[in-house]
Amino acid sequence: MKVGAAVIGSGNIGTDLMMKILRLGENLRMAAMAGIDPASDGLARAARLGVATTADGVEGLIALPGFDDIRIVFDATSATAHRANARALAPYPIRMVDLTPAADGPFVVPAVNLDRHLGAPEVNLVTCGGQATIPIVAAIAAVTPVLYAEIVASIASRSAGPGTRANIDEFTETTARAIESVGGARRGKAVIILNPAEPPLIMRDTVLCLVDAPDQRITKAVERAVAEVAEYVPGYRLKQPVQITETRAFGGTHQVSVLLEVEGAGHYLPAYAGNLDIMTSAALRVGERLALETA
């Protein structure tokens, strides 16, 4: 039997995640969507698809008749709202997957460390930039020490909704921390760029790692990491071959440059919104594994 799942947040990310669960969920059953805007397209779409809905947020979710059958809740709201949602759901036997930068639970990037946190009551998916770049940093760090890692996530301005814009500071802080704690870099830095170009450009990510040795295994390690992420994010790919050049900074002697591109699957959002698609794809992968542990 599939495990009941709910999504809190009826915006772009929550709605896209709902569509993924409905279309691709093997172990998850989309049981409910909770929002706070009764006029949102997400709630209207959920109702049309036969999903239970409430516009009263987490309190409304708890009051739904089928709430007792829900075991996994995805939070696609904001860092501030998530903390209130987590407190409200704490008394119940629910596993939470946090898509906000609240970072209250352990950081999880499916291609890197999902197996280590399957027993956690709550996991955090870092950020879209973290999901796209941390697998690369971790792959390089598994070959040779990464003295410094810097990532630049460039996303279409159109794909940055109110929640994304409200969480810009949390994005840079949370991603930098996860580059170190999950990616294995001694020091990490994250930058996000909202690109206003028209027509909108798809998500691009640059990963720069400083290492003290130009190990020839780095390229193969990065290519394997890209292939692993692409298993659950089909639009994830290398934009050009891995580059290793000489440099002297932060104690390193060589810079590894990796350019990535993330195209959205188009389940609900435009293809250029790869930043949102990689978050919902990672959430689905995590939720599917948690459902196996919960069932």
pLDDT tens digit sequence for 130-153: 999 999 999 999 999 999 999 999
Measured CA angle at 279 (ends 202, 210), to 5 deg: 75
Contacts of 137 (CB under 8 A, 6+ apart): 146, 149, 151, 179, 183, 184, 185, 188, 207, 209
Residues acting as catalytic residues? 128
Q: Is the pLDDT of residue 102 over 90?
A: no
Q: Does the annotation place 162 within a ligand binding site?
A: yes
Q: Does the annotation place 10 within a ligand binding site?
A: yes
Confidence band, pLDDT 50/70/90 cuts, at residue 257: very high
Q: Is the pLDDT of residue 213 over 90?
A: no
What confidence tens digit (pLDDT) does each residue in 159-211 have?
A: 987 777 877 888 899 999 999 999 999 999 999 999 999 999 999 999 999 99
What number of H helices and E strands is found in the chain?
10, 12
Instruction: Give the pLDDT score at 248.
Output: 82
- Helical pair 128-141 and 168-181, crossing angle rounded to 10 deg: 20
H/E element holding 237?
strand 236-238
Instruction: Give the pLDDT score at 170.
Output: 84
Confidence band, pLDDT 50/70/90 cuts, at residue 79: confident
The first and second tokens of residue 5, run together, are 């799942």
Q: Does the annotation place 167 within a ligand binding site?
A: yes
The whole model's pTM is what? Answer: 0.95
- The DSSP code sequence of 29-81 is EEEEEE-S-TT-HHHHHHHHTT-EEESSHHHHHHHSTTGGGEEEEEE-S-HHH
Instruction: Give the pLDDT score at 143.
Output: 97
* Residue 230 and residue 274 in contact, taking contact as beta carbons nearer than 8 Å: no
Confidence band, pLDDT 50/70/90 cuts, at residue 270: very high
Domains along the chain with CATH numbers: 3-125+277-294 (3.40.50.720), 128-269 (3.30.360.10)
